[in-house]
Amino acid sequence: MTIRVQTEDFDLSREVAALRADSPQVGAVVTFVGTVRDVNDGASVAEMELEHYPGMTEKALQDIVEQAKARWDIYDALVIHRVGPLLPKDQIVLVAVTSAHRGEAFDACEFIIDYLKTQAPFWKKEQTPQGARWVDARVTDDEALAKWDMPSGSGR
Amino acid sequence: MNIQLRFFASVREALGVSQETVAVPAHVATVGDVRAFLRERGGKWAEVLAEGKSLRMAYDQQMTDAATPVREGGEVAFFPPVTGG
């Protein structure tokens, strides 16, 4: 399991190659890449700043990957999340999961990103023509979490 | 008892502070008590940490709720709902 919080960009091909390099038993790799959109809630977004809680962020991501490993028969998982200033089209997050068969990897990958969006301490601040604003949490993110029978919000 | 405080994102900006160490009186025993104690500072503290605000709390870097007990040297964080990913 690998967790990285970094300002630098990442290369999907290279990360996936490294993840399965020593694992001939892998038959499926599922990846999710989140990117910066140039429009959010009706305003154009020129730039974004991602803040996080150093220390807690890594623990929270580790915890979710461990939960995914306990719940699904997967071999390995990788989470990379960028912080600092980002521009539209930039990559923000990568989740990659390996397993013997696709079903487990698809579910575990979706679970990890759903959990991350509501439980890992990251916050986005957007620069718009109307000024800077903190992005509001989405109700749909909590709804996405509900399908995994996970309590959202404070506590777990 | 000394508690480490951490504030993030909109909460950090509204309070104008990212971290501090605070000595709390003996009756402050839980994360919720810390929040109430800080509200007594009044002004923006009373406003930002008011009950009913959609505020998240962490104790020793784990998401938690108001009932969690605090200990000497513990770290209590306040922040808005998270928006990563």
| Residues 6+ positions from B78 with CB-CB distance below 8 Å | B5, B6, B7, B8, B11, B35, B48, B49, B55, B56, B57
Is pLDDT of A9 > 60? Answer: yes
Is pLDDT of B56 > 90? Answer: yes
Handedness of CA B10, B14, B18, B19 (dihedral sign): negative
Check: pTM over 0.95? Answer yes or no.
no
- Within 8 A of B56 by CB-CB distance, chain A residues are 153-154
For residue A149, what pLDDT is reported? Answer: 81
CA distance B56 to chain A (A): 6
Residue spans of alpha helices (H) in chain A: 12-20, 56-71, 102-119, 139-146
For residue A154, what pLDDT is reported? Answer: 41
Looking at per-residue pLDDT, the higher value among A144 and A89 belongs to: A89
For residue A140, what pLDDT is reported? Answer: 85
CA distance B81 to chain A (A): 6
Q: If you average pLDDT over residues B50-74, what whole number do you get?
A: 96
Given a contact cutoff of 8 angstroms between Cβ atoms, the answer to whether B16 and B59 are in contact is: no
d(C-alpha B54, C-alpha A137), whole Å: 10
d(C-alpha A94, C-alpha A11), whole Å: 9
ipTM of the complex: 0.94
- Within 8 A of B79 by CB-CB distance, chain A residues are 53, 121, 123
Q: If you average pLDDT over residues B39-51, what whole number do you get?
A: 97
Q: Is B36 on the interface with A (CB under 8 A)?
A: no
At residue A123, what are phi and psi to the nearest 5 degrees? -140, 135
- Ranges A60-74, A104-118, A131-145, B12-26: which has the least confidence: A131-145
β-pairing, B2-7 vs B75-79, is parallel
pLDDT-derived band at A152, boundaries 50, 70, 90: low
Q: If you average pLDDT over residues B43-56, what whole number do you get?
A: 95
d(C-alpha B29, C-alpha B26), whole Å: 7
- Within 8 A of A113 by CB-CB distance, chain B residues are 85
Mean pLDDT for chain A? Answer: 93
Yes or no, beta carbons of B63 and A156 under 8 Å apart: yes
Is pLDDT of A156 > 50? Answer: no
β-bridge mates for residue B57, sequence order: B64, B78
- Residues A58-109 have pLDDT tens digits of 999 999 999 999 999 999 999 999 999 999 999 999 999 999 999 999 999 9
